[in-house]
Amino acid sequence: MKSDFISIFNLTKQEIFEIFELTKKLKESQKKGIQHKMLKDKTLAMIFEKPSLRTRVTFETGMTQLGGHAIYLGPGDAKIGARETVADAGKNLSRWVDLIMARVFVHKTVEDLAKSATIPVINGLCDLEHPCQIMCDLFTIIEKKGSLDTVVIAYLGDGNNVCNSFIAGSALLGFQLNIATPKGYEPNKEYLAKSKTVALVNDPKKAVTHADIVYTDVWASMGQETEAEARKEIFKPFQVNSQLLELANKNYLVMHCLPAHRGEEITDEVIEGKHSIVFDQAENRLHIQKAIMVWLLKQ
Ligand code: CP
Ligand code: NVA
């Protein structure tokens, strides 16, 4: 049976580490210039209902490096669910290509696509999760800190898709995750109920105290642009800035999934500072994407 990658919860702990192992190997091969055309002649269809820099470029580049090909279908192209049903799109694509990656507004769209398609479907971000991002972030933390077992991760800001995938990661892998959001912007309750290692607080100082990793995301996600001005006021105390970071552990690292709104959720000084690993993190999107595609097609 084919496997999909719609949620972090689609994987077991063992499978997550298998993908990390593969990511490491693919990254080493890429750095050494060793060819690794493991998906030769395979085609990936990429459906984007929203904009993207990292997800689009890393999936497309990844497919090229693996010997395959990627087709970009932007918001004006497939229009799944409008020109035809999501299921019909899934059935059509299954007759032509080997893999689908979809960035959608509503989680159900990517679920319906996976149900109708006979090929693996990857969630490239929806309203509920951003699983590819969190796989990349956890891999990056292990690269920098050696393990997830001893680190305390603080997530500050909106309890959104990225935050939910982080919680799913903590449920499966058991790392300590301190989340600070403004009241009313907490993450998904069902996800919270599944993790024993999440501390949900509304105080950014409490979350950052003794943290090894401080992570943030935009205050208004794609599709929430009309709320952006109001959110700027509500989220102000959750800004990742030098003063707040004084509470973190000595060798703390700062992460952001990007795009960043400098001066809002994170200051220029912090993102450019010596504790920031945001561009190493962004680089790893390429390596993790490749591993996820290879892994799904091997199942
Ligand atoms: N982090 C991330 O998914 O970036 P894009 O929105 O640019 O793809
Ligand atoms: N939470 C953000 C993540 C962007 C990668 C969004 O959904 O826009």
pLDDT digits (tens, 9 = 90+) for 104-120: 999 999 999 999 999 99
What dihedral angle (degrees, nearest 10) is formed by the CA atoms of 131, 238, 52, 145?
-50
Q: How many CB atoms lie within 10 A of CB 21?
A: 12
- Residue 162 Cα to ligand 2 middle (Å): 7
- Residue 222 Cα to ligand 2 middle (Å): 6
Using DSSP's 3-state secondary structure scheme, residue 227 falls into helix
Are residues 32 and 123 both part of a single domain? yes
Active site residue 95: no
Q: How many CB atoms lie within 10 A of CB 50?
A: 16
| pLDDT above 90 for 1 | no
For residue 282 and ligand 2, the question of a CB distance below 6 A is answered with no
- Residue 155 Cα to ligand 2 middle (Å): 14
Are residues 41 and 149 both part of a single domain? no
Alpha-carbon 246 to chain mean position: 27
- Domain boundaries, position 250: 133-281
- Residue 49 Cα to ligand 2 middle (Å): 13
| pLDDT above 90 for 170 | yes
Are residues 182 and 256 both part of a single domain? yes
Are residues 119 and 47 both part of a single domain? yes
E strands within 69-175?
Answer: 69-73, 99-103, 121-123, 152-156
In a domain? residue 31: yes
Are residues 179 and 42 both part of a single domain? no
From the CA of 136, the nearest ligand is 1
CATH assignment at residue 61: 3.40.50.1370
Contact 158, 218 (CB under 8 A): yes
Residue 158, burial from CB neighbour count under 10 angstroms (0-12, 13-18, 19+): buried
Are residues 59 and 164 both part of a single domain? no
- Residue 16: name the closest of 136, 159, 160 by CA: 136
Active site residue 299: no
Integer Cα distance of 186 and 178 in angstroms: 12
For residue 221 and ligand 2, the question of a CB distance below 6 A is answered with yes
From the CA of 284, the nearest ligand is 1
Are residues 155 and 59 both part of a single domain? no
Task: State residue 246's pLDDT score.
Answer: 98
pLDDT digits (tens, 9 = 90+) for 59-104: 999 999 999 999 999 999 999 999 999 999 999 999 999 999 999 9
For tokens 């893999």, name the residue: 99
Are residues 25 and 117 both part of a single domain? yes
Which residue is catalytic, options 103, 231, 256, 287? 103
Integer Cα distance of 227 and 46 in angstroms: 28
Q: Which of 48, 49, 53, 225 to mutate to test the pocket of ligand 1 (most atoms within 8 A of CB)?
A: 53
Are residues 117 and 82 both part of a single domain? yes
| pLDDT above 90 for 168 | yes
In a domain? residue 58: yes
Integer Cα distance of 107 and 62 in angstroms: 24
Are residues 142 and 271 both part of a single domain? yes
- Residue 1 Cα to ligand 2 middle (Å): 31
Sheet order of strands, 213-216 included: 198-201, 176-180, 152-156, 213-216, 253-256
Integer Cα distance of 147 and 1 in angstroms: 32
What is the total count of domains within the chain?
2
Q: Which two three-digit tokens encode residue 30?
A: 């890429």
For residue 123 and ligand 1, the question of a CB distance below 6 A is answered with no
DSSP 169-200: HHHHH--EEEEE--TT----HHHHHH-SSEEE
In a domain? residue 217: yes
pLDDT digits (tens, 9 = 90+) for 237-265: 999 999 999 999 999 999 999 999 999 99
User: What does the angle CA 175 – CA 150 – CA 252 come to, to the nearest 5 degrees?
Assistant: 100
Are residues 140 and 226 both part of a single domain? yes
Integer Cα distance of 197 and 66 in angstroms: 37
For the entire predicted model, the pTM comes to 0.98
Q: Atom 4 in ligand 1: which residue has the minimum CA distance?
A: 54
H or E element at residue 125: none
Which residue is catalytic, options 137, 231, 257, 289? 257
Are residues 276 and 155 both part of a single domain? yes
Identity (one letter) of the amino acid at 118? T
In a domain? residue 1: no
Using DSSP's 3-state secondary structure scheme, residue 201 falls into strand
Ligand 2 atom with least separation from CA of 258: 5
pLDDT digits (tens, 9 = 90+) for 12-45: 999 999 999 999 999 999 999 999 999 999 999 9
Active site residue 69: no
For residue 52 and ligand 1, the question of a CB distance below 6 A is answered with yes
